[in-house]
Structure 1
Amino acid sequence: MTLLPLPPETRQDPAAPPPPGWTPDSWRDRPAAQQPDWPDPQALRRVTGTLTLQPPLVLPGEILDLRRELAGVAAGAGFLLQAGDCAEPFASCTEDGVRGKLRVILQLAIVLTFGSGLPVVKVGRIAGQFGKPRSRPTETVDGVELPVFRGDIVNGPEPTPEARRADAERLLRAYHHSSAALNVLRALTLGGYADLDQVHAWNQESVRRSPAGRRYEQAAEDITWALRFMNACGVDTGAQPVLHQTRLYTSHEALLPPYEQALTRYDEERHAWFGTSAHLLWVGDRTRQLDGAHVELLSGLANPVGVKVGPSTTPEELLLLCERLDPHRSPGRLVLITRLGAGRGADLLPPLLRAVREAGHLPVWACDPMHGNTFVSDGGYKTRRLTDITTEIGEFFAAHAQEGTHPGGVHLELTGDDVTECLGGDLDEIVDERLATRYETSCDPRLNAAQSLELAFRTGEILRAHLRA
């Protein structure tokens, strides 16, 4: 694996000691939003105790590799692609399920790299994104009030009192499903599936007939020709690992502090605490309270951490969060993920960019164009329009151009399956009446493979124009 070229000041080991008074369980003295009502506290303690004895899912060295790569992104020398499922079902942690997600992420990364000339840091919402915050704690189904489905890590989606009861044993199942998914990911990314010779094979038959799919085939042909050209010039491309392997880092929202604490480990060599459930952890727009349990927990971990920045975030609030989570202003530590909604970026984003820049922070700025553009269709389905998603990405780039900052990445909810959950797209455009055809998400609507590829080409064009300007 080749790391991004970094400025000299970012090449040191970026681990830092936790803030004074922090311990892995200091979050327990803080209010914790979005928590399920665990009916058996003793079972929760027993399960988390078991988790503390399990091997880490990811290692400190891998986590610090990601921090160094993100430091390059923050310095303008790369682009972050963070993408994957809305709320992973346990059933997707199979070879076929993981391969499908990896395939579409690799396609998008190739399109973004080919279009912009920048290295793309690939971070999946995968191998741990089993939980989701919800707007309400309960819902009514057929006249019966039930706890809301919070993801497979907490309860089941079936609308019955038994399935919706929070079950601490699911935390242990989440760990084992994450481990299985990571094993498949490592085998695929290091075992030849990510080889650039495979770029044609990543394009699914259902996507090939779309305009974006045909455009991808042409890009893949150009890449294949470039590799032949390099070989003809005497470059032994077979001896270049970077052409045949890749790394996909993992990430998820650190929604359940008991689970995250149970997988927190101290590294004696680096004198730092690491959250070993994923390489990157984030707090959501509903859990980013400055005095809350989630921010307290992440403030002491050496992982890169993300913060979802919604339309209610003021520059003053954001600066307090930056100071709390990144007091040393360490490049690669902080990823600020804006989710403002189409039509709002021009007004809301520039003051945030300006305040963070003037305070001396150097985060990775990423755009989540999904969560601010969700609505309920006439047919009653939660959905998103591809045009709104594209619009918000355009506004994100425009605001960065205005403020002279680097638009560092995108954060997408997508799947490699041919679902009909988001409206729009060049291939068999999905309209309201077609949402029911293959509406399979258990929480939020995802882009399908063809829509994802179409969006990647558009984002690559915007990024290339931004770099030229």
Structure 2
Amino acid sequence: MTVHDPEAWRSKPQAQDVDYPEPEKLHKVLKEIETFPGLVSTTEIDRLSAQMANVADGKAFLLQSGDCAELFSYCNPAQIEAKLKLTLLMSLIIVHGVRLPVVRVGRIAGQYGKPRSKPTEVVDMGGEKCTVLSFRGDNVNGLDIADRAPDPERLLSAYFRSAATLNYIRSWLSSGNADLHAPQSWSFHHVQSEYLQCEFGRITREIADALDFMKTVGATPGDGETPANALNTVDYFISHECLMLEYEDALSHRTSQGLYDLSAHTVWLGDRTRQVDGAHVAFVRSIRNPIGIKVGPSMDAEELIRILDAVNPAMVKGRVTLITRYGAGNIKDMLPQHIRAVQSSRHSGLVVWCCDPMHGNTITSKYNSSIKTRMFSDIVKELAAALQIHAQLENRLGGVHLELTGDNGVTECIGGSMELSDQDLSRNYLSYCDPRLNYEQSLDIAFLISEVLRSQRTGKGLESDAIVRALSQYMDVNLPSP
């Protein structure tokens, strides 16, 4: 990979910069963080890079998922385990359909930042409207209105909570908890549709039968003395949005191979930080980590190619994941333009295409204007359209990017097999940021992906219209033809 000046970002305009009242305190904290060990290793990053190259080649499927933004309070065993168990279950279901390895990447152990469109917001304080600094995430300031002053000490808290979360993830996975022999214990009591219960049950029985066959022929461990294999231990990588460049830089490490950002295995750029001539693009250009770029309605085809040229001049396969997030109403107009632009460029066949069906489909609750939600049917429509358009253009959808939670009984998105309504949102709405899929809705998505990819793999769903018809029947929603 071409070596670039790791300090070049400092001379560029930096979007989403934080104005600290005590710059000298920030400098002291960053100097301390520079002495800390990296949260991840260069070997792990290289392993993810190799797996992302496989995704770009169609030899693996990417599942990236987790909270919109973490709170420091999420650093506890129950919530960490819930996310891991859900991710493992979803990946097993997807593997059943696609018959390829799933690359698991969590939005966890560092997703403490929150980009904002405005530096301030108006809040109600005892009946009086007041302007306060916007909440920028637990690594910058507090959610409580009285705690909005940016504090560099929070970067230290972010590091240690990231380290504690990652340590727990590693120990939990290495202790046999990744055992995937559990289909018989899966419950679908939440599924209201009798048709879906039958479909989910069918897939579950097929997975259980396949695992039982492998055990019978000796392809899986039979006792505790047998070495671990792919069925009871997995790779799990961490990611977060690349926002606070000073923090990312403090955890970067130069090797003979180049510069690595050891704050995470992979980071991504959002709509607010992907300026071609900006500091964030200059920073990710200099590191060897795989990187993601959010691609939405505000990006035209020409800008997309300029960004790819900027961040991947060495043309490394799988280095860049394009995380598309248009909204169900925009995808049919925008995605084909972007696919054709990449196919006509030197980056053709090098990028990973990943569908984020969440971010473009956020709406306000009809019953409470202060609550954001998402219609499950819109999420499915965008995912279905992405599958259809990629198939039409002989391109490959390599993965999905989902905001979800494994916490019990969360009610933040409307619909799904639980048939949640707008009135149900207040029952257990926990997100302080964007609405997330709950456990049951996440499984719905996994089963849908599995079913469509299985149909494509077996030749039953290669025609784009068949994809739409299958999903329309599967979730009983009317999907527009992109």
Q: Are the counterparts in 2 of residues 200 and 217 from structure 1 also a CA contact under 8 Å? A: no
**Are 2:191 and 1:191 equivalent residues in the alignment?**
no
**Are 2:9 and 1:18 equivalent residues in the alignment?**
no
Q: Are the counterparts in 2 of residues 81 and 121 from structure 1 also a CA contact under 8 Å? A: yes
Q: Which residue of 1 aligns with 2:474?
A: none
Q: Which residue of 1 aligns with 2:275?
A: 289
Q: Which residue of 1 aligns with 2:470?
A: none
Moved more, 358-367 or 224-233: 224-233
The one-letter code matched in structure 2 to 1:92 is Y
In 1: Cα distance, 2:401 partner to 2:263 partner: 19
In 1: Cα distance, 2:378 partner to 2:130 partner: 35
Provide the aligned length of Structure 1 versus Structure 2.
Answer: 445
Q: Which residue of 1 aligns with 2:480?
A: none
**Are 2:361 and 1:373 equivalent residues in the alignment?**
yes
- Matches of residues 301-320 of structure 1 in structure 2 within 5 Å? 301-320=287-306
Instruction: Give 3-state SS (helix, strand or coil) of 2:451's partner.
Output: helix
1:18 CA drift (Å) = 2.3
The one-letter code matched in structure 2 to 1:466 is Q
CA shift digits 1:397-454 (9 cap, x unpaired): 1111121111011100000112111111221x22222211111111111110001111
TM-score, length basis structure 1: 0.91
1:205 CA drift (Å) = 8.6
Q: Which residue of 2 aligns with 1:4?
A: none
The one-letter code matched in structure 2 to 1:352 is H
Q: Are the counterparts in 1 of residues 97 and 452 from structure 2 also a CA contact under 8 Å? A: no
Classify 1:236/1:446 alpha carbon distance in 2 versus 1 (closer, same or farther; 3 Å): closer
Q: Which residue of 2 aligns with 1:172?
A: 156
In 2: Cα distance, 1:317 partner to 1:69 partner: 27
- Structure 1: runs of 5 or more not aligned: 1-15
Q: Which residue of 1 aligns with 2:99?
A: 117
Classify 1:117/1:48 alpha carbon distance in 2 versus 1 (closer, same or farther; 3 Å): same
Q: Which residue of 2 aligns with 1:13?
A: none
Q: Which residue of 2 aligns with 1:8?
A: none
In 1: Cα distance, 2:438 partner to 2:319 partner: 31
- Structure 2: runs of 5 or more not aligned: 463-482
Classify 1:402/1:220 alpha carbon distance in 2 versus 1 (closer, same or farther; 3 Å): closer
- Matches of residues 414-429 of structure 1 in structure 2 within 5 Å? 414-417=404-407, 418-427=409-418, 429=419
TM-score, length basis structure 2: 0.88
Q: Are the counterparts in 2 of residues 207 and 213 from structure 1 also a CA contact under 8 Å? A: no
1:383 CA drift (Å) = 0.9
Q: Which residue of 2 aligns with 1:259?
A: 247
Q: Which residue of 1 aligns with 2:115?
A: 133
1:464 CA drift (Å) = 2.7
**Are 2:83 and 1:101 equivalent residues in the alignment?**
yes
In 1: Cα distance, 2:137 partner to 2:193 partner: 33
Classify 1:401/1:43 alpha carbon distance in 2 versus 1 (closer, same or farther; 3 Å): same
In 2: Cα distance, 1:350 partner to 1:341 partner: 14
Instruction: Give 3-state SS (helix, strand or coil) of 1:184's partner.
Output: helix
In 2: Cα distance, 1:283 partner to 1:274 partner: 16
In 2: Cα distance, 1:262 partner to 1:46 partner: 11
User: Which of the residues 444, 456, 469 maps onto 1:454?
Assistant: 444
Q: Which residue of 1 aligns with 2:229?
A: 241
1:218 CA drift (Å) = 5.3
1:462 CA drift (Å) = 2.5
Compute the RMSD of aligned alpha carbons: 1.9
Classify 1:199/1:52 alpha carbon distance in 2 versus 1 (closer, same or farther; 3 Å): farther
Instruction: Give 3-state SS (helix, strand or coil) of 1:197's partner.
Output: coil
Classify 1:210/1:169 alpha carbon distance in 2 versus 1 (closer, same or farther; 3 Å): farther
Q: Are the counterparts in 2 of residues 131 and 150 from structure 1 also a CA contact under 8 Å? A: yes
Classify 1:114/1:147 alpha carbon distance in 2 versus 1 (closer, same or farther; 3 Å): same
In 1: Cα distance, 2:220 partner to 2:308 partner: 45
- Matches of residues 209-224 of structure 1 in structure 2 within 5 Å? 219-224=203-208
In 1: Cα distance, 2:421 partner to 2:118 partner: 28
**Are 2:35 and 1:53 equivalent residues in the alignment?**
yes
Q: Which residue of 1 aligns with 2:321?
A: 335
Q: Which residue of 1 aligns with 2:472?
A: none
**Are 2:73 and 1:91 equivalent residues in the alignment?**
yes
1:364 CA drift (Å) = 0.4
**Are 2:389 and 1:404 equivalent residues in the alignment?**
no
The one-letter code matched in structure 1 to 2:52 is L
Q: Which residue of 1 aligns with 2:429?
A: 439
In 1: Cα distance, 2:202 partner to 2:104 partner: 23
